[in-house]
Amino acid sequence: MKMTTLGHSCVRLERDGVTVVIDPGCFSDPDALAGADAVLVTHEHIDHVVPDRLRATPADVRIWTNPAVAAHLSDLGGRVHTVRHGDVFEVGPLEFHVYGEKHATIHRDFTEFDNVGFLVDGLFHPGDALTVPTEKVRTLLAPAGAPWVKLAEVVDYVREVDPEEVYLIHNAVLSAPALDTHTQLLTTLVGGPDGPPVHAWTTGDSATLGPRA
């Protein structure tokens, strides 16, 4: 499976002629949805979904998301599929397992938001949460920085998930020097010769996912 970053938390997955885009938000490449067969949305925040961009996609593009986002897209009718923790669904050759229910706490004064993560072929996109799947995660997409998480929590999260490799997402909220610093610290604390490699990438970078050598 080929994975390409399209900015911030948005990734494009391609396998056997099928293209799935996860979390095409306002910080993503404006053309993130081009060629998509399906779109997956973890939660309703604008850095993960821009509803009008979904409305502009072809009528055969299907969308899988949580109930809160689905409610915002009710005008799209049967194109939108609601999923919850524990659900499994298929898009072509790709089988997705849904994990999680709530967005990580930003502040006690904020209402809780729904959030689901998606696991496919050993790749886990948690959205804005630190959900730990019960299945083995080979490739973890971990937040580089966010208003709802501190670096120490990301370190502990990666250690708990115990993936074979880490790619950093949710990076648009960091300056270039801050991203470099976070990457270096994460590499030191969870990487090393016996730990998973930690990858920082820029929009358009791709990787072919498979077992670690």
Distance CA 168, CA 21 (A): 17
Helix runs in the chain, H state only: 51-55, 67-72, 151-161, 176-190
pLDDT tens-digit series, residues 61-108: 999 999 999 999 999 999 999 999 999 999 999 999 999 999 988 888
pLDDT tens-digit series, residues 153-205: 999 999 999 999 999 999 999 999 999 999 999 999 997 778 899 999 999 99
Distance CA 10, CA 187 (A): 22
Structure tokens at 172: 């648009």
The architecture (CATH level 2) of 2-200 comes to 4-Layer Sandwich (3.60)
> In the chain, where are the structural domains located?
2-200
